Each structure stands twice: as C-alpha cells, then as structure tokens.
C-alpha cells in the first residue's frame, strides 16, 4: 500500500469552500482504481493548511491511472480555485509497524 500526502495551502477565507469541494470530490477518489481511503486533515499550527491523505494500492494507481483521468481534472476543477499554490505531493510506504 502507498500513502499519498498532499500538502495543500488554501487562500485565506476559503475553508468552507475548500471543504465543500473535497466532500463533493470524495466519490471521484472512491471510484478510482486502487484507492482504498481518503481523508483531509487540517494543520493545527497553520490555519490555511490542509493535508489530503489518500491510500492507494500502488503508486501507479495514483500517478498514472488517477492523475491521467477525467476524475483528477474534476477534482482540480472543484478544489483548485481555493489553492494558494500548487499542492506538494509525497508518497510513503510502510517501513515498520510498531504496534
């Protein structure tokens, strides 16, 4: 499993619009090939910063199948107006499970 972390800085005052857009976009992720979970967390220390966290079966499911899809374009159309700058995306894989 691969976890995508998208660090998203939004324009001040667009919290409600951004969260509404993410809620509307949730089905796009849910039906994406290899996508098993999606959530958004708000950074405590930075009021205009969110982290989109998505679980993918493979990196290819995200980087190729989703990013090259019409659903990805729709996600960006829905939420993109709120972005203060392009999201910074990283991927991780479990290296060790402590408990």
pLDDT in tens, the chain (99 residues): 999 999 999 999 999 999 999 999 999 999 999 999 999 999 999 999 999 999 999 999 999 999 999 999 999 999 999 999 999 999 999 999 999
Tokens 């199948």 map to which residue?
Answer: 65
Which domains, from first to last, does the chain contain? 1-52+86-99 (3.30.70.100)
| Max Cα-Cα span within the chain | 40
Parallel/antiparallel/unpaired status of strands 2-9 and 49-56: antiparallel
- Which secondary structure element, helix H or strand E, spans residue 21, and what is its range? helix 15-30
Q: What is the pTM of this model?
A: 0.94
């Amino acid at each position: 499993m691969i976890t995508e972390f998208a660090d998203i800085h939004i324009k001040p005052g667009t919290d409600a619009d951004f969260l509404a857009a993410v809620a509307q976009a949730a089905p796009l992720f849910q039906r994406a090939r290899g996508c098993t979970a999606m959530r958004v967390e708000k950074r405590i220390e930075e009021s205009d910063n969110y982290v989109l966290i998505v679980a993918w079966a493979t990196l290819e499911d995200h980087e190729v199948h989703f990013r090259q899809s019409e659903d990805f374009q729709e996600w960006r159309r829905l939420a993109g107006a709120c972005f203060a700058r392009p999201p910074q995306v990283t991927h991780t894989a479990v290296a060790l499970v402590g408990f």
